Copies of this chain bind each other. A is one copy, B any other.
Amino acid sequence: MNATPLNELMSRVRQFAAARDWEQFHTPKNLAMALVAEAGELAAEFQWLTAAQSAAPDAQQMGRIRAEAADVLIYLVRLADELSFDLLTAAAAKIEENERRYPVDKVRGSSRKYNEY
């Protein structure tokens, strides 16, 4: 893997865990569980907001949203590190698949197609 900022984050998170001898807790299973729990905390920030409110969070809400999003990313890079795959490569592959699966001329503006997305 090349030296992207995402890989730098991965190294830093790995060192954080190693320094505390916490790698023993970082099985892929546990990391996936921690990730979905953090994703739930991120969702909780938006649960009672209208669509419009969710697009204009106040400073306090933004602080919490950034922190929860950071937690999700931290566990995601930790998981990719433990299972030795590159997140950016995986994401690029997924977008290419989606581009084939949802041709612009067939799905444009269609919420039905989108619901099946």
Measured CB to CB, the residues of A under 8 A from B are 4-6, 9, 12-13, 16, 19-22, 24-25, 27-30, 32-52, 54-55, 57, 62, 65-67, 69-74, 76, 79-80, 82-83, 85, 87-88, 90-95, 98-99, 102, 104, 107-109, 111, 114-115, 117
CB contacts (< 8 Å) of A16 on chain B: these are: 95, 98-99
CB contacts (< 8 Å) of A91 on chain B: these are: 9, 70, 73-74
Among B32, B48, B111, the residue within 8 A (CB) of A43 is B32
Contact check, A48 vs B102: say whether CB atoms are below 8 A apart.
no
Dominant SS at the A interface? helix
Q: Whose C-beta in chain B lies nearest to the C-beta of A50?
A: B51
Contact check, B43 vs A9: say whether CB atoms are below 8 A apart.
no
Report copies per complex.
4
Known: A19-B108, A20-B102. 11 other contacts (CB 8 A): A16-B99, A20-B114, A28-B54, A29-B49, A32-B33, A32-B54, A34-B48, A36-B40, A36-B42, A37-B47, A72-B72
Q: How far is the CA of A98 from the CA of B22 in the complex (A)?
A: 13
